[in-house]
């Protein structure tokens, strides 16, 4: 049979078209999982693997702080020794606090505390630069912190005191701070200790016998600036004080610690994974795939681990050292607790997804915090990992906090040592306990660890 040219072209067209359709069909993208920020979106048909928080959970904007400064002075007789020298670090610090407070965007008010709390004007405040101001026969320190419900607008209360209330009950001061400030979102309390020249009598709490003490700045008697208010206000106030401290009054022989339940962390830390020193039978590829399904990190800090099917069944571990990103001057958490979220790819053709896994024992993470370093060890047991793809996030949450050890050197240990403060350790311990009690509800995230794991 003779075929016309057009018929030849028609017959040749079909195999070419069939091959083209097969190529198109093969090039259609399969769904894949892609790393995103928390709450991030991916293209339709793909699966999001949330890792980094969408925005800094603890970010603050101190430039908008307009808290009114309530500058409160302990007017009891136990403060006279600080003011006998009109140029002591104590007097100079009062003048520094006054200058900074006068320039505060929210304004300043002055108050005095002895047998109670009383508002004073600036003229009366300036009398504190001499000994005549300190005539009070008692120091009801807890009354320096009024209930927030009575406050008009945002306030930052700064109380200058020797931290020696007459009843000796520094826990009552800490409790007032807890109930009225620490329990409120975004609030903090701080203690700023400063050593100063002192020449006078020391009046211990609980009506114990007074004794004479004289000391220079190097071995002088500490006084304290107690700060309560929003964390942003305290941090900004401390920053401004340091910037305005041209005489370096507070550069040395002083110490500041801020106690806060939810502003300890400047930003969470994430994995900076290394492919070095991997356990036998474990590899760290750039992505994972199974039956044409692909997991990609999407430039998120996700570490992919591939476990060989013949991997040693003993527990394997990976160790990391991360930078602890704390807010300045905040007390460091002493206990971090991991909270796990484990999901497994379900492999359903019609509706692929990562579903919550009941197997919560795939990994076990422990950590320790020293200064600005966070040591993390991740252990996993290949024997308990079934074949498949997993996505695991572990949030290391702060569960307790304590004052830095340096403060122990400022406590007199029950001895008559005028260069130290009686009951300081009790006060700081109470602050730590109270802050910890609040942290158990708020649990700030110190670090988030994200893993994609494939078991062949």
Instruction: Summarize pLDDT for 85-103 with one digit per residue, the tens.
Output: 999 999 999 999 999 999 9
**50-96: pLDDT as tens digits:** 999 976 544 444 445 689 999 999 999 999 999 999 999 999 999 99
Q: pTM to 2 decimals?
A: 0.86
Residue 440 near residue 260, CB atoms below 8 Å: no
pLDDT exceeds cutoff 80 at 21: no
Q: Is the pLDDT of residue 273 over 70?
A: no
Model pLDDT, residue 349: 64
pLDDT of residue 168: 53
392 token code pair:
């695991």
Q: Which two tokens stand for residue 356?
A: 């919550």
Q: CATH second-level architecture of 31-56+267-400+444-455?
A: Sandwich (2.60)
Distance between CA 341 and CA 295 in Å, rounded? Answer: 17
Q: Each residue of 301-325: pLDDT tens digit?
A: 999 999 887 766 667 888 899 999 9
From CA 20, how far away is CA 165, in angstroms rounded? 89
**Residue 394: predicted pLDDT:** 95
Question: 23: pLDDT confidence band, cut at 50, 70 and 90?
Answer: very low
Predicted local confidence at residue 233, as pLDDT: 95
Question: Residue 2's pLDDT band (boundaries 50, 70, 90)?
Answer: low
From-to residues of CATH 2.60.40.10 in the chain = 31-56+267-400+444-455
**CB distance 105 to 155 below 8 Å:** no
pLDDT of residue 385 exceeding 90, the answer is: no
Average pLDDT over residues 333-362: 82
Residue 16 vs residue 249, higher pLDDT:
249
Nearest-CA neighbor of 369 among 330, 340, 407, 339? Answer: 330
């Amino acid at each position: 049979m003779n075929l016309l040219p057009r018929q030849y072209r028609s017959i040749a067209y079909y195999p070419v078209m069939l091959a083209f359709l097969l190529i198109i069909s093969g090039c259609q993208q399969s769904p894949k999982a892609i790393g995103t920020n928390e709450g991030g979106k991916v293209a339709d048909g793909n699966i999001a693997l949330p890792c980094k928080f969408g925005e800094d959970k603890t970010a603050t904007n101190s430039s908008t702080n307009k808290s009114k400064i309530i500058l409160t002075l302990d007017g009891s007789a136990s403060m006279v020794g600080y003011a006998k020298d009109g140029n002591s670090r104590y007097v100079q610090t009062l003048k520094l606090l006054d200058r900074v407070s006068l320039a505060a965007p929210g304004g300043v008010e002055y108050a005095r505390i002895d047998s109670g709390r009383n508002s004073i004007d600036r003229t009366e405040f300036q009398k504190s630069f001499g000994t005549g101001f300190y005539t009070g026969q008692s120091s009801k320190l807890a009354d320096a912190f009024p209930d927030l419900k009575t406050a008009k607008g945002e306030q930052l209360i700064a109380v200058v005191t020797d931290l020696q209330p007459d009843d000796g009950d520094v826990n009552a001061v800490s409790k007032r701070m807890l109930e009225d400030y620490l329990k409120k979102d975004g609030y903090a309390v701080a203690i700023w200790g400063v050593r100063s020249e002192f020449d006078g009598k020391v009046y211990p709490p609980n009506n114990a016998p007074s004794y004479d003490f004289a000391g220079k700045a190097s071995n002088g008697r500490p006084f304290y600036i107690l700060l309560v208010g929003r964390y942003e206000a305290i941090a900004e106030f401390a920053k401004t004080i340091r910037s305005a401290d041209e005489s370096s009054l507070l550069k040395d022989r002083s110490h500041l610690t801020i106690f806060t339940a939810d502003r300890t962390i400047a930003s969470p830390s994430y994995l900076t994974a290394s492919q070095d020193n991997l356990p036998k039978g474990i590899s760290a590829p750039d992505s994972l795939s199974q039956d044409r399904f692909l997991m990609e990190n999407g430039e998120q800090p996700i570490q992919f681990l591939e476990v060989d099917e013949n991997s040693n069944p003993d527990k394997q571990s990976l160790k990391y050292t991360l930078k602890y990103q704390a807010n300045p001057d905040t007390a460091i958490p002493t206990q971090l607790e991991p909270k796990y979220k484990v999901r497994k790819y379900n492999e359903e053709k019609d509706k692929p997804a990562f579903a919550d896994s009941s197997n919560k024992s795939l990994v076990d993470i422990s950590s320790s915090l020293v200064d600005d370093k966070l040591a993390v060890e991740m252990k996993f047991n290949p024997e308990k990992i079934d074949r498949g793809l997993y996505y695991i996030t572990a949030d290391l949450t702060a569960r307790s906090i304590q004052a830095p050890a340096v403060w122990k050197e400022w406590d007199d240990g029950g001895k008559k040592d005028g260069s130290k403060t009686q009951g300081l350790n009790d006060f700081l311990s109470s602050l730590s306990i109270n802050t910890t009690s609040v942290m158990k509800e708020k649990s700030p995230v110190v670090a988030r660890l994200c893993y994609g794991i494939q078991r062949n």
